[in-house]
Amino acid sequence: MTMGANLGGAKGSFERCEKTAHSLTSAISSMVSSTTESRVTLQAGGRSSYTERSGLSSEKHSFPKLSWRFYKILEHYIYDPKVQCLVTSSLMPLAASYTNPTEVNRRMGSNPPHLAINANYFGKGAERVAFRCRLADESNIRGFVFEDMIAKETKHDQRIQERIEFHKSFAETQDLANYLADQFNAHIRGIPGYDPLLTPVIRFVSCSVLVVEDHSAPGGSR
């Protein structure tokens, strides 16, 4: 069965999973990566039918490494499992709420109007490319608020036009991962010797989908 899957274009590797939080994280990351690569390849009949976006530069080979581009935030979406789709939200982007809930409460709904995205990516996967990003109160680095976050976009030219729809399956997967993590942690709390201060648990940061103004992008937004 494994040989047949490989011949069809599936990707995968064996990962030894030891009883440590680091090993569990590594195993989960390996599983997600190989599953995503298999999906992309098998959808294309064993070969990729997508073209990678031109002009993508990595931080590793760029100088300066950080080159911030500032964009006005137009829309904010979060995944709602009740209706199984992305819905508009007036809340602070969820990653910011996770890193500094005290600051979120202090701002009392005054969300930063800008998103700064590094022009150079720091990572690429089978379907997406990842950039460092920061929320900002002004369109310059003096306006930075909250911690560094990660912005992910399609890495293929053919999928840019999908815009919000492209992110739906990823947001749904993230929501499912949060649910499974909660179930796992609940079982962990019932084992002998559980210590809330010492026993590791699994957490996933909830994600937001932001639409920003970009006059160089199709339709004037990305």
Three-state secondary-structure class, residue 202? coil
Amino acid at 211: V
Smallest CA-to-CA distance from 214 within 53, 74, 58, 111 is with 74
Exposed / middle / buried, residue 39 (Cβ in 10 Å: 0-12, 13-18, 19+) = middle
Question: Locate tokens 């560094």: which residue?
Answer: 148
Tell me the two tokens of residue 106: 């202090």
- What integer pLDDT is reported at residue 213 of this predicted model? 97
Smallest CA-to-CA distance from 70 within 130, 137, 140 is with 140
Q: Residue 132 in contact with residue 122, Cβ under 8 Å?
A: yes
Percent of the chain whose pLDDT exceeds 90? 48
- DSSP letter at 82? T
The size of the chain, in residues, is 222
Alpha carbon distance 55, 191 (integer Å): 51
- On the question of pLDDT at 116 being above 70, the answer is yes
C-alpha triplet 14, 128, 144: angle, nearest 5°? 120
- What integer pLDDT is reported at residue 26 of this predicted model? 58
pLDDT per residue as tens digits for the range 142-165: 999 999 999 999 999 988 888 899
The gap from C-alpha 21 to its chain's centroid, in whole angstroms, comes to 21
- What integer pLDDT is reported at residue 134 of this predicted model? 96
- What integer pLDDT is reported at residue 42 of this predicted model? 57
Helix and strand numbers, DSSP H then E, in the chain: 5, 6
**Maximum Cα interatomic distance, the chain, rounded to a whole number of Å:** 58
Question: Locate tokens 């701002």: which residue?
Answer: 107
Report which of residues 105 and 30 the model is more confident about: 105
pLDDT per residue as tens digits for the range 171-196: 988 888 888 889 988 999 998 989 98
